[in-house]
Structure 1
C-alpha cells in the first residue's frame, strides 16, 4: 500500500515564561507522537525547547506578553518534515551560534538546533522575530522497507 503525502500545521500562543515554553513543547510532542518516527518527535521537542527557551531568556515578548510556536508537519512516502517556528518580539541582536567552553553552563542552544535541523534561520517582520528550524527524517515506512 502506497503512503500518501499529508500536511498539517498548528499555531500556539503561550505566555513568555518557562511554564509557557514547557506547555508549548509538550503540546508539540503530543501532536507529533504516533504520526512520525519517535526519533523525529524527540528531535523536534529538543529544537522547540531550545528555541522557546531562547525566546524566554533573550527576547522581548509579543503583545500581551506572549510568544508563538508554530509547526508544520509534512509526511510523505520517503521522508517526514517538521518545521518549527518560534516568534517573539525580537532581541537587541540576531540569534547566533556561540562558541562556549566545556565548562559553560549554557550557550549551546543554537548549536544543538543546528546539529539536529536540516536547516535553520531567522526572519524579522512587522510582528517581531521568528527563528525557525526544519527537521527531515526518513519516513517510518521507508525505515521498515530496508
Structure 2
C-alpha cells in the first residue's frame, strides 16, 4: 500500500525496477514495465478515489516470461479506457501508452475496489544462459 499521493509514483517505479533488476530482467523490459506502472498509478491518482484506507495498492507478479502490474483504487464514476488524445492535448495518453507496451491489459472490479492491470513481456538479457526467469513471485509496494 502506498499513500494516495503523486510522490507514490516514484516509489512504485523504484521498487518495481529494483525487483526486476534483481530477477535478471533485461533493461528494455524493465523500462516498459516501469512506464506502465507509472501510467496506471498516475491515472488512478488523477481519476479515481483512494481505497477505504486512504491509500492505493500497487502490486506486481512475475510468471511465465511476463510481469503483471496492477493498481487498485476506490474506483471512479467512469470505466478506465484507452482514448485517442488530440495532438494538442496535455494529457489523455496514459492507457494508450499502456495498450502499446503491454501484451494485454484490463480492469477487474471487486465491490468498491477497481484494479487496472497490465501484462508486460519480460525476457532475460541476451547472452544469458538461463532458459527461464525467476520462480513466480508476487510483490506489493509497502
User: How high is the TM-score relative to the length of structure 1?
Assistant: 0.81
Question: What is the aligned residue count?
Answer: 127
**Counterparts of 1:86 and 1:138, CA distance in 2:** 23
**Counterparts of 1:105 and 1:54, CA distance in 2:** 14
Counterpart for residue 23 of structure 1? 11
Whether 1:86 and 2:74 are equivalent positions in the alignment is no
Counterpart for residue 144 of structure 1? 127
Q: Which has the higher contact order (CA 8 A, sep 6+)?
A: 2
What's the CA shift string for 1:15-57, capped at 9, x where partnerless?
1110122211211111111420111110010000000001111
Counterpart for residue 54 of structure 2? 65
Moved over 6 A (4+): none
Which structure shows the bigger proportion of residues in strand conformation? Answer: 1
Question: 1:1-146, aligned counterparts within 5 Å?
Answer: 13-34=1-22, 35-74=24-63, 80-140=65-125, 143-144=126-127
**Counterparts of 1:134 and 1:43, CA distance in 2:** 11
User: How high is the TM-score relative to the length of structure 2?
Assistant: 0.84
The secondary structure found in structure 1 opposite 2:31 is helix
The secondary structure found in structure 2 opposite 1:23 is helix
Q: Which runs of 5+ in 2 are unaligned?
A: 129-142
Q: Which runs of 5+ in 1 are unaligned?
A: 1-12
